[in-house]
Amino acid sequence: MNSDSERPAVTELRLSAFKAHRGVVLPLGPLTLLSGGSGSGKSSALQAYEILARLGSGQSLARAVRDVAGGPSACVPAGVRPDEQGRRGFRIGCTVSGPVGPVSLDLAVQAEPELRIVGERLIGGGETLLTTALTDPDRPAVQAAWHTAGATPVTRAPLPDDRLGTSLLPLRVAGKTVGQRLVLAAAEQVVVALRSAFVCDPRPEVMRGTGGARAAGGAGLPGATGATGVASGAGGSAGRGSGVRGGRGKGVGKAREGQDEGRLRSSCDNLPAVLARTSQECARRHAVLVAAVREACVGPVDGLRAVPRQAGVTGASAAGASARESGVTGATGATGSGAAGAGVSGSRMTASDVTGAGAAAAVPVAGRGGAAGAQSGGGLGEAGVQVVLDRGVLGEMPVEQLGDGELRFLALALVLLTGPGVLAMDPAGEIPSAHQQMTVMADGMDRCMDRRQARELVSLAVRMAERGHVRLLGTVRDPSVADGLPGVQVLHLGA
């Protein structure tokens, strides 16, 4: 499967009534940037997407909206008056393209006086596949009706009002008729796309360990708690009979508890442990990362390494002690087999240089202890490992000494170059990764960066999006950073 249409992806976001948005439809391409002045609703658009993604991952409605400042009531558009029963709410939706074709999902959420999903509609293949409606306000359930196309054209049953009905269909639909298989295939497509989102917000103060308490959780979308599986599909590759099973997201819960440091969290506070792992797992990818960091940082960058941190040694002295102990200089330009461990420093590389077949040998690896011993704490310099830049003749420097923009660039570049197996997220494990696209969501993508850094980051995103496995939805202050770059869609909000 090589075309984007065969990998489920959210291609449209609808903000029918959400915060400052009314009747807004945002087409989403492989690389979409939202721009606009303060208060134009850029961050709100990403919040709406994240709520849908969390619901698609099987989370309860309360968990899906818990990070919204001001609570669920803040999602209600200003000026909306309650009805006779004192109810107010918001409406959001999306369209997911994939093997089944375009499938649309729309939700009506009651925020006051009680939080609940009061209406849901799923449409695909020219059919209304699922509708739900609140018929009895005193019951914590909605009445659902889904397409059957058998002896009974529609099946009716209650569903809980705090869950996405689409994600629960596999528990209710048998898949015996053509209509039921279409329902399951469409539900799988939507769930796979929504679960493939990773919210990334690198926080330099947390990465340095100066932001107070360690960022608990931080996973883009914490593990699902509800069953979101699809037992079978209809038509072509959609009918593979593979399930998208829920339960607590594997790996994500561990990452939230600090037990899986090898999966990058949203705040990127465990960056050293992840770099220790990725530098060993894929030399070619790490070389691209080093080349990108070189373009974004001031001064020479000959290597980027995760090294063991020695107790009682801080800052540059720790980096130097580790380098002397291991004899690794982190050269990225050398092409000999001993480049990673013999202190060989070669010529400089650009990101385009390392996309060829010969790039694999030109990468530094983690110092002694490797990924297996990487246990990072709440910052880049705590016990376990730390990340250092090899500045060539200038020596090595811990990355926590970089500026905020450089730190954010490093973290976001790593996210773009990796995938669900490296990030603290909960993708559909039963669907082959080749049939999925990860969507990186980055609010304030260019925050703290100068124009050169932001443009280099967008350029890297363009190259990764061209491969078809990564999509990006971000917000930027300066849309001109995308000028002239192919495949970048900039949507101006509030215009």
pLDDT single digits (tens) 28-86: 999 999 999 999 999 999 999 999 999 999 999 999 999 999 999 999 998 899 998 89
344 CB-near residues (< 8 Å, 6+ apart):
329, 331, 334, 336, 338
Q: What is the dihedral of CA 429, 51, 254, 447, to 10 degrees?
A: 110
- What is the value of pTM for the model shown? 0.79
**Confidence at residue 338, expressed as pLDDT on a 0 to 100 scale:** 36
CB distance 426 to 244 below 8 Å: no
Exposure string of 131-162, with b = 16+ CB inside 10 Å and e = fewer, is bbebeeeeeebbebbbbbeeeeeebeeebbbb
Token readout for 134 is: 């609140």
Mean pLDDT of residues grouped by 10 in the chain (495 residues)? Answer: 66 97 97 95 97 96 95 94 93 96 98 96 96 94 92 92 96 91 96 94 88 45 43 38 39 40 85 89 92 92 85 46 41 37 36 38 33 42 75 91 95 91 73 75 96 96 91 96 96 86
Q: Where do we find the tokens 């869950």?
A: 163
Do residues 80 and 165 make contact, with C-beta atoms less than 8 angstroms apart?
Answer: no
- The amino acid that residue 409 corresponds to is F
Distance CA 245, CA 13 (A): 25
SS3 90: strand
Q: What is the pLDDT of residue 149?
A: 84
Residue 351: its pLDDT value, please? 41
476: tokens are: 């930027």
Distances (CA, A) of 378 to 214, 270, 318: 5, 7, 18
